[in-house]
A and B are shown apart, each in its own frame.
Chain A
Amino acid sequence: MIKKVFIVFVSILVIVWFLTPVVLIVLASLTPSEDYYNQNRILPRKLTLDHLYKLFVVLNGWRATLNSLQVAGMAIGLSFLTGLPAGYVLTRYVFPGKNAIRLSILLTRSFPTLIIAVPLIMIYLKLGISDTLFSVALAHTSFILPFVVLITTSILSGISVEYEEAGMIFGLSRFGAFMRITLPLALPGLAASAIFAFIMSWNEVFISSILTFVNRTLPAQILNTAMTSPDYFKFAAGTIMAIPAMTFIFFTRKYLMSMWGISLK
């Protein structure tokens, strides 16, 4: 009995602690400006989509959002295109230097992304692609790629080789077996990691704000206009950033959990 009370009590605590900031920011973004600046009003009388609209349309929030989406999409595409085969090779083949490569990929995660930011700009300038979305995507790929390699290695090693071998015995080439047997089996895990990679790119603020001037991603936009726009716009922007990410992980939480090694039995 005491246990039940304890559980309920702590649960409420946890819910309040984690959800309050989120709820409040959504509330703030929906609060009309008069109510917002009114010291006496805590809760708004009515909700308004005005700020969200203004931010999205007038201040080109939608363009920044679009940019973020494009960058994330490109980054994921690039990372998986190069990372998935890498993960496959690292799991299935044995070759000299394998461990060294694995280790060095792991090591890249220990470097903060910002230390490559500066020289990257110089490279981009040389390549003529500075201040483009593609350049940000390339930059994002450099820290998403190791993550993808790591994850695909672990996912693929969980799929028994014998499934592929059976495929090869019964008529598939090695590539065919990978595409038609391994990949479908790996899809849930890969989808979850794609979502997570998307969120990483979507949220990344430092490099995007350094690399871009005109074509900003949403976080970069916020960072730079943060000091100057009225509060409720900031919150509207925060909401726009937060809600999609939260919805994504809600729908894929089962896969994300198993990706992190947590079972929801």
Chain B
Amino acid sequence: MARVKIENLKKYFGNVKALNGIDIEIKDGKFVVLLGPSGCGKTTLLRCISGLEKVTDGKIFFDSVEVTNLSPRNRNVSMVFQSYAVWPHMKVYENIAYPMRIKGYDKDKIKEKVVWAADTLNISELLNRYPAQLSGGQRQRVAVARAIVLEPAVLLMDEPLSNLDALLRVSMRSELKKLQERIGTTTIYVTHDQVEAMTMGDEIAVMHNGVIQQFGTPEDIYHRPANIFVAGFIGSPQMNFLEVEVIRKDNVLFLRNEDLSIKLPKDLAEKIENDDNKKLILGIRPEDIHKEKDKESTEFEAIEGKVYFTERLGSDTIVHLDFKGIRIVSKLPGDVKIKEGENLKMYMDLGKVHLFSTVDGKALI
């Protein structure tokens, strides 16, 4: 296992800036997820770390060794590809054994490790088959087995679960995470699925437009998004965004939108006290908009509108509220009977409110 450090990494494809200055440090033994929409650069970053892609500028370190210009086979990395890339002309045993064969291990050592890897991934009965005879899920396990067999310094995974069906995906999520905890290899995992990221990652790097938008624990990312992109990308249903005006009245700051007028407590007001911030974006998650005022002491602000649509999921109820033409979404626990078309007053938990600058999207609160 190794610590991975990346300094100001840039990768350009002609005029396209796939990676535009990446700085990140991944601690030894951690499971780090690169999360983002397609085109954000996460796969490019992974490939640069693997050595399959040459960087345009910047440095990559494994522990304190610079690997920026080393070819993949000299970096002691392993990779699980999105399509698994399990070699079709070799049996499963041979696939897993191959990395060791290339490095010249002796027969007994190879057998020992293959058996161990196959055992760990529960594919011991498949060793004598060809990949074409396996299901997608089985092939994926072969790919993982092959990747861990040499105990690499860094284990890279490129959306390994995206080609599996939904049920399998859920069970493999926990299996992969448990596996990593067991073998303790530094793992970098790419996905566009936020649920995967949130459930598996020790830390998540949210990427967009070739830069890391925020790097932190799932909890950080969820409760303290650094900017509007991260806030909107994480969380389902998506966070509600409302444009508000900052009004000063009697030395108290208010946020105004139509008949909504939120009084800001002093400490929060100090944070946004700035002439630039005349207009802000207010963000609040659906689960922080309630049907009744909570008994706890946090402040609430009422928001009223017509119920446009409800989705009853059994475990939750999603209410789509029409507030003066703006769609506000609320997530209520349990099965709540609400009629479409009725006027409803809902309550925003002001303790959970986020404020974003309209200039650069950064979070102020």
Contacts and interface: CB of A to CB of B under 8 A. Distances in A.
Interface string A153-193: 00000001011011111111100100001001100000000
B81 to A, nearest CB: 5
A192 B88 CA distance: 20
A63 to B, nearest CB: 41
A170 B89 contact: no
Interface in B84-142: 85-89, 98-99, 102-103
A170 B78 contact: yes
Contact of A165 (B85, B86, B98): B85
B73 A170 contact: yes
Contacts of B82: 162
Contacts of A181: 87
A170 B98 contact: yes
Contacts of A172: 73, 102
Nearest to B73: A171
Contacts of B150: 170
A171 B99 contact: yes
A163 B85 contact: yes
Contact of A170 (B71, B83, B88, B146): B146
A187 to B, nearest CB: 9
B195 to A, nearest CB: 25
Chief secondary structure at chain A's binding surface: helix
A168 B73 contact: yes
A185 B130 CA distance: 14
A164 B103 CA distance: 17
Given A169-B50, A169-B78, A184 B89 contact: yes
Contact of B81 (A162, A184, A185): A162
B79 A171 contact: no
B52 interface: yes
Contacts of B52: 165, 168-169
A3 to B, nearest CB: 35
A185 to B, nearest CB: 6
Contacts of A162: 81-83, 85
Interface string B26-57: 00000000000000000000000011100000
B47 to A, nearest CB: 9
Contacts of A165: 52, 72, 79, 81, 85
A165 B72 CA distance: 9
Contacts of A160: 83, 85
A162 B77 CA distance: 16
A177 to B, nearest CB: 9
Interface residues of A, number: 16
A167 B78 CA distance: 11
A94 B146 CA distance: 30
Contacts of B83: 160, 162
Given A162-B85, A166-B87, A185-B89, A171 B103 contact: yes
Nearest to A176: B102
A93 to B, nearest CB: 13
A157 to B, nearest CB: 15
B89 A168 contact: no
Contacts of B50: 169
Contacts of B98: 170
A176 B52 CA distance: 15
A162 to B, nearest CB: 4
B74 to A, nearest CB: 9
B71 A185 contact: no
Contact of B79 (A163, A166, A176): A166
A62 B83 CA distance: 53
Contacts of A169: 50-52, 72-73, 77-79
Contacts of B51: 168-169
A249 B273 CA distance: 84
Given A168-B52, A185-B89, A173 B73 contact: yes
Contacts of B88: 163, 185
Contact of B99 (A163, A170, A176, A185): A170
A162 B146 CA distance: 14
B79 to A, nearest CB: 5
A102 B305 CA distance: 63
Contacts of B87: 163, 166-167, 181
Contacts of A173: 71, 73
Nearest to A184: B89
**Considering the complex of A and B, which 3 residue pairs feature the smallest CB-CB distances, nearest first?**
A171-B102, A162-B85, A170-B99
Interface of A: 160, 162-163, 165-173, 176, 181, 184-185
16 contacts: A160-B83, A162-B81, A163-B87, A165-B79, A166-B79, A166-B87, A168-B51, A169-B51, A169-B72, A169-B73, A169-B77, A170-B73, A171-B99, A172-B73, A172-B102, A173-B71
Given A170-B150, A184-B89, 20 more contacts: A160-B85, A162-B81, A165-B52, A168-B51, A168-B73, A169-B52, A169-B73, A169-B77, A169-B79, A170-B73, A170-B78, A170-B99, A170-B146, A171-B73, A171-B99, A171-B103, A172-B73, A172-B102, A173-B73, A176-B102
